[in-house]
Amino acid sequence: MIVRDMGVRQARKALAAPLRKACLRALSTQPTQPTPTGVVDLTEPTLQSPNVNPQPPSIFNAKIRAPARKKKPAAPDTTVADYKLALEVKNYIGQVGSRVERTYRPGDVFLNPPGPKDVTLELLMASQAHMGHHASLWNPANARYIYGIRQGIHIISLEETAAHLRRAARVVEEVAYRGGLILFVGTRPGQTQIVTQAAKLARACHLFTKWTPGSITNSEVILNGMPMQMLDEHDEPVEGFNRHLTERRPLIPDLVVCLNPMENYVLLHECALVNVPTIGVIDTNAEPTWVTYAIPANDDSLRCLAVIGSVLGRAGQIGHERRISDAKKGIVSWKTPLDVAKFMALERKKAEQQGKAATEASQGRPYVTEEDEAGFDTGFQQSHTTGARSNPELD
């Protein structure tokens, strides 16, 4: 301690309290807190100050009150008005100022999806389709797609990519034109939007969750009871195939587009087993023989996959539109599947027989309705419509 301060400190301590008290007492007109004496205080308890007999602090007597909540004055909710005003202001001053050209916006590929005509090397380069894997990870079967090595990674030849992408687009377009069922598969995280958009454009199916093994080779079990519909040449749903739809085998895609073949070996294998053509994005480490039509490109870039997916989706859309417009002219390039044709033939036969029976009945025999002859479900219908148990044997 510094010696010169000591006097000040100690003196302050020694003098401060009594002096202040004395001064206060001199100044105040009212008596201050009395010093504890042995005498019992006989004043009324209400007049005593609360600190007369200070109790030892105890947790059981601690007076704790929850802090009073401050209520904010209820302001009128102006959210909607503010939002509308903001939109208005944005509309008003949106065009003001210098024009900034934005060359890349991530959402553009979904707002305005490029089609097969828009495939250029610049687009592919910009979307990083040329980036392969580290040279040590390569699959030598991809040698013909590889342009060279730069900084240790393989560079995919974009000319090859563009050519293969155009070819794949052509395949998709023709399958769509012939009324085939296309399936877009992208099961990595982040590929959902790409796959669903492509499927929406091409009126196809999408898959962004795990491929259930056996959905093609064991489809009777795995896809049993999935809802289907019957479409005619104008893609209008057709009635009257309820029985066939509940009885028929599940559908098998006519073309599978796989954005990540490395993770979907089972799917591609199943497709190969039943002769379903496949299109796959083949990176430098992938096996190109797993797919029928390879597109050598970077399968790790979502931007690249979005371009590829939208190109293929657009191709499907073009094929679909061409099919519909041709159907209006009376040109239909597909045939009714064999099982459906068989079902229709059987139904026709049955209808003829019923017609004959009906004519006979109208000539001589008592009247028998169509429903009585048809089968179980129509029997149910009759019992339902009459509202009584018309056929006690069934119960």
Partner 1 sequence: MSSLRYSLRCLRDLRATATRQSSLSASIKAASTCSGTRRTFTTTTARQDDGFERLQEAVTQSPDAAELDVTRVRPMPLSPSYFSRHTQFNDSFVLVQDLARKYGRLPILPPNQAPRVAWKTKEQYRLAVGEAVKARDYASCIALAKRLNQIHPDLMPEEVQKGLRPFKRDINFYLNRAKPILVDRFGRSHGVGRRKSSVARAWLVQGTGEVLINGKTLNDAFGRVHDRESALWGLKVMDRMDKYNVWALVEGGGTTGQAEALAMAVSKALTVHEPALKTPLKKGKSMPYPYNFCARIFLICIKLVVSLAIRGKSRERSLAMSKRERCPPGSSDKTSQIRCFTIRLVGYFLTGLSSRRMPTWGIYRPDWHEAKLRTLWSILPI
List residues near partner 1 by CB under 8 A.
59-60, 62-66, 79-80, 82-83, 179, 181, 183, 192-193, 196, 199-200, 204-209, 211-212, 215, 222-233, 237-243, 245-246, 248, 251, 253, 332, 334-337, 340, 344, 347-348, 350-351, 374, 377-378, 380-381, 384-385
Neighbouring-strand partners of residue 185: 207, 258
Contact 274, 251 (CB under 8 A): no
For residues 13 and 15, give the distance between their C-alpha atoms in angstroms, rounded to a whole number: 6
Residue with tokens 């859309």: 317
Residue with tokens 């109208």: 362
Q: How far is the CB of 320 from partner 1 (least distance, A)?
A: 12
Q: How far is the CB of 137 from partner 1 (least distance, A)?
A: 30
* 172 versus 204: smaller Cβ distance to partner 1: 204
For residues 303 and 124, give the distance between their C-alpha atoms in angstroms, rounded to a whole number: 10
Q: What is the DSSP letter of 286?
A: S
For residues 310 and 114, give the distance between their C-alpha atoms in angstroms, rounded to a whole number: 6
DSSP string, 61-108: T----PPPPPPPP-----HHHHHHHHHHHHHHHTT-SPPPP----TTH
Q: How far is the CB of 88 from partner 1 (least distance, A)?
A: 15
Residue with tokens 């302050």: 12
Q: How far is the CB of 355 from partner 1 (least distance, A)?
A: 11
* 142 versus 264: smaller Cβ distance to partner 1: 264
Of 196, 220, 222, 228, the C-alpha closest to 209 is: 196
* 108 versus 159: smaller Cβ distance to partner 1: 108
Q: How far is the CB of 383 from partner 1 (least distance, A)?
A: 11
Contact 172, 315 (CB under 8 A): yes
For residues 73 and 342, give the distance between their C-alpha atoms in angstroms, rounded to a whole number: 76
Neighbouring-strand partners of residue 150: 153
Contact 275, 79 (CB under 8 A): no
The C-alpha angle 127, 133, 134, rounded to 5 degrees, equals 135
Q: How far is the CB of 66 from partner 1 (least distance, A)?
A: 6
For residues 146 and 158, give the distance between their C-alpha atoms in angstroms, rounded to a whole number: 9
Grouping H, G, I as helix, E, B as strand and the rest as coil, residue 392 is helix
Question: Which tokens hold the place of 320?
Answer: 């679909």
Q: How far is the CB of 112 from partner 1 (least distance, A)?
A: 16
What are the start-end ranges of the H helices in 130-182?
158-177
